[in-house]
Amino acid sequence: MSDDNASIPHSARVWNYWLGGKDNFPIDRQVGDQFSEFYPDITVVAQSSRAFLKRSITFLAQEAGIRQFLDVGTGIPSAEHTHQVAQAVAPDARVVYVDNDPLVLAHARTLLEGAIEYLDADLHDPAGILEAATLDPSKPTALILTNILGHVPNLDEAVSIVRRLLDGLPSGSYLVTADGTNILDGPAFEEAIGVWNANAPLSYHLRRPEELARFLDGLEVVEPGLVPCSRWRPAPDATAEELREVDEFGAVARKP
């Protein structure tokens, strides 16, 4: 698919639309709006997920002293992306983005400067990702897997991918993970996802929180644990709308 194909919807551009970004076409907005008809909270899910990412990256850079970030399945770079948040706290932070979507990589070319790198690599090849990432293997790294593991249909395979990536990182590294769930408004979200999967080349699978918790096995989970993204260390002045729970659970955990 061409990165400038305005006639075919693309999942990365639709997500960008839900986030309030500008890197999308009318066809993407049309599909995004159609999804919203089935599940109106999808924009809240997307924005809650991005806010969680921002808070977790800030925590890692500011409180945990992390200076290396490996963001797998990053999507289209947009406002307050990993490198912007991390480097606002620590200008020397290094960020390696990983994706294998030509559209995402085309957008990424505008960011290939300084301590930012993009890898054309596949989530299903953890060894290849770790080998290609230009990170210091002796220093702790934050592994970011947000809204990507839901694209792996088999839970055991998704858990294996997480384990293999973490096995290649030193002690003191962290995992940041978040994905869609089906417990708060399951039927409506499942119906919308079903329509999406029937029309999209890359399917997505909602999971229960206890299934997502398997990604955290053997790790030291940072308080408050695996919770709705809006409830993970919210700002003291967070509004009621920002605190509203939606079907997107996230967590941060440390490798001992």
Domain ranges of the chain: 11-254
* Percent of the chain scoring above 90 in pLDDT: 68
In angstroms, the Cα distances linking 94 to 61, 125, 165, 166, 201 are 11, 22, 18, 18, 32
- What are the structure tokens assigned to 253, written together? 């955990």
pTM of the entire structure?
Answer: 0.92
- What are the structure tokens assigned to 213, written together? 């918790």
CB neighbour list of residue 128: distance below 8 Å, 6 or more residues apart:
121, 122
Q: Is the pLDDT of residue 58 over 60?
A: yes
CATH number at 11-254: 3.40.50.150
219-249 confidence digits (pLDDT tens)? 999 999 999 999 999 999 999 989 999 999 9
